[in-house]
Structure 1
Amino acid sequence: MRSRVWWGTTAVVLGLLVAGCGQDGGGDKDAAGGSAAKSGSGGYPVTVTDCRGAKTTFSGAPKNIVTSNASSLELLLRLGAGDKVIGTGFPPGKGTLPAALDAQAQKVRVLGRAVIPKEKLLGSGADLYIDTFASMGGMGGGMGDAPTEAEYKAAGIKHIYLKSTACASTRTSPVTDLAAVEDDITSLGAVTGTSARAGELVAGMKEQVNAVEAAVGQTPESKRPTYFFFDYDAGTKQPSVVCNRQVANAVITSAGARNVFADCDGDYQQVGWEDVIAKNPDWIQLGVRNRGSEAANKKAFDQAQKWLESNAATKGLTAVKAGHFLRIGSEQTTIAGVSNADTVVEIAKTLYPGKVD
């Protein structure tokens, strides 16, 4: 089986999160429903909470940020806070980010090709570490030999999490919209002093998703196409599927489709091909991670499609026989980011031709 590590995160993300803050002003509510108190020049202090309610307070914008992966790195770049990033783990491959951001991303120091080694992270000089991996104890383990909260504190590093990915295992209900992603953007904007830009990004996402909802939202559930995210890069021997706590479930649902594995609680689950056959999806997304060039991506999509068309277990599927394939990258579907909204639109355009602009 291929390694289940991609663009900026890993398959199983367990643990805590950073809850989004409200807009500037005193006593705004954060994304977890608590109070995110802000006051003073520039909207500080800012307090964010994790999913257990533990608080982290910022008296000013962090100056030296390390990101655990490329998802949080991209969010900071889009917010205009990329100049504060001094290092990252799981760096994005050249060409995997939008052109305007790619050059900036390639200049960021790589502290680890995968999880950043503990000593390197603690000695990085960071004053903030943004974590997508849920490495706190008591939450089902962590990613590698992660520092303890006491060690972060001793090193002068504040440690926060991305809500939309790090809290999958703690959710008590399915995620069916992009609110958690939007909360992450709002929260990072508040922490880094880029709330205005965060507001613009969130507003843009809402506009896209709302347009899709207006066009196809009245489609009865029973009439919505069924949809399978085929994670080709996770391996073909035993499929790994996205469940109802994963960001992809929100993307698929918002696009007016039905994730055929929305009945499994959690973020990812390994199933058998007999389970996929039993679901018999109307559409299949070829989940391929960005190879860094259009030609390389096309080759990977071709390979994924050919595998489905030639494999005895899958060639009889309704979607395969009808040629109902979507060639949309894994990252923009399964990793939290602004491009999740773009994917909602792209899926909806394909499944509802003529209804979505």
Structure 2
Amino acid sequence: MMKLTTTTALFTLAASTAFAQATVQSCDREVTFDAPPQAAISNDVNLTEMMLVLGLTDHMVGYTGISGWNKLDAAMREGVDELPELSAQYPSKEVLIGADADFFFAGWNYGMRVGGEVTPETLAPFGVAVYELTESCIHIGEKGAASMDDMYNDLRNLGAIFNVSERAEALIDGYEAELDAFLASQPALAPAPRVFVYDSGEDAPFTAGRYAMPNALIEAAGGVNIMEDFEKSWATVGWEAVVERNPEVIVIVDYGEVTAAQKRDFMMSNPAFAELDAIKNDRFVVLEYVEATPGPRNIAAVKTLAAAFRDN
């Protein structure tokens, strides 16, 4: 697991270049910044980690949406030690305004809901600029399938917004090189293993379609998401579709009150799944929520998946 404070310490020097007006694409909007935000708030663990690895805690007044979902691990806890959590789950408009925020890094279903009280439009009159998580843009318009470039795009845009583009590009280059070197060392897979992402749910599973980050992680690792043709991000499907597509590997997303072990036990003990290749061969992989959603730990997630796909 990466050490957030170590990464941040690499970038303690202030940017040497003067800030020029920055315009970035945020879903279907262009957002212009005349100066770097000084009172930023991020929502959710993965978005907050993007801020941390870019060394932006001095520009933050807090974060939201982590402890209420049981997502805070040791590395994350140390990284945000000096920042307050302003809301355990999704923040209200009053929470953000009350913190005198000038910037909110969130996404659709990552702190904002379509038609909800916290949106770019509702916050704009109060001087709070919003940058939207790229992966989440599918909820308000058209977008291609999730890719590793979604996460890199967010780091690059945050770099422009906060005048730390050199840091962002250095991180992206490092992530790409690390991943390329690791994957080049792995034996080829033929055919690609069929993979099912099990987030939660017993009556019907909540899973990752083509627009959710695990689709990109699985593809990068050499597998194929059995729901890659499901025109959704994170959504519920029927168990019948899972059985019909017969996954060879099941990826469990670990967070919340139901543990990864309990999710595995549910699938292993249910007679309806007994003939699935993944069940017969007991092939499960566990990813933490922060690994399965867009953020710096996607690199480790691809490595974990790639190794698991080849361990049969």
Superposition TM-score tier, normalisation by shorter sequence: 0.7 to 0.9
Report the residue type matching 2:195 in the other structure: Y
2:137/2:143 contact within 8 Å kept: no
1:169/1:245 contact within 8 Å kept: no
SS of the residue 2:118 aligns to: coil
List structure 1 runs of 4+ shifted beyond 6 angstroms. 134-137
| 1:318 has 2:288 as partner | no
Q: CA deviation at 1:97?
A: 4.1
Q: CA deviation at 1:217?
A: 8.9
Aligned 1:90-169 pairs, distance under 5 A:
90-92=65-67, 96-97=72-73, 99=75, 101-133=76-108, 141-142=114-115, 144-146=116-118, 149=121, 151-167=122-138
SS of the residue 1:173 aligns to: coil
SS of the residue 1:327 aligns to: strand
Q: Which residue of 2 aligns with 1:184?
A: 154
Taking only the aligned residue pairs, the percentage that are identical comes to 23
Aligned 1:1-357 pairs, distance under 5 A:
41-52=17-28, 54-92=29-67, 96-97=72-73, 99=75, 101-133=76-108, 141-142=114-115, 144-146=116-118, 149=121, 151-167=122-138, 170-175=141-146, 177-215=147-185, 219=189, 223-231=191-199, 234-289=200-255, 300-333=259-292, 335-353=293-311
2:65/2:111 contact within 8 Å kept: no
Question: How many angstroms apart in 1 are the aligned matches of 2:111 and 2:249?
Answer: 38
Report the residue type matching 1:300 in the other structure: T
Structure-2 change in CA distance of 1:227 and 1:66 (3 Å): same
Unaligned 5+ segments in structure 2 are: 1-15
Question: How many angstroms apart in 1 are the aligned matches of 2:209 and 2:268?
Answer: 24
Q: Which residue of 2 aligns with 1:7?
A: none
Question: How many angstroms apart in 2 are the aligned matches of 1:308 and 1:134?
Answer: 27
Q: What's the TM-score once normalised by structure 1's chain length?
A: 0.75
Structure-2 change in CA distance of 1:122 and 1:190 (3 Å): same
Residue range with higher mean Cα deviation, 198-207 or 84-93 = 84-93
SS of the residue 2:222 aligns to: coil
Count, aligned residues? 296
Structure-2 change in CA distance of 1:136 and 1:192 (3 Å): same
SS of the residue 2:179 aligns to: helix
Q: What's the TM-score once normalised by structure 2's chain length?
A: 0.85
SS of the residue 1:236 aligns to: coil
Report the residue type matching 2:306 in the other structure: A
Q: CA deviation at 1:82?
A: 1.4
Unaligned 5+ segments in structure 1 are: 1-39, 292-298
Q: CA deviation at 1:172?
A: 4.2
Residue range with higher mean Cα deviation, 101-110 or 342-351 = 101-110
Q: CA deviation at 1:136?
A: 12
Report the residue type matching 1:337 in the other structure: G
Q: CA deviation at 1:213?
A: 4.6
Question: How many angstroms apart in 2 are the aligned matches of 1:276 and 1:76?
Answer: 36
What's the CA shift string for 1:187-224, capped at 9, x where partnerless? Answer: 1112112222212221222123323553569645xx01
Q: CA deviation at 1:152?
A: 2.7
Q: CA deviation at 1:92?
A: 4.4
User: What is the root-mean-square deviation in Å for CA atoms of aligned residues?
Assistant: 2.8
Structure-2 change in CA distance of 1:136 and 1:108 (3 Å): closer
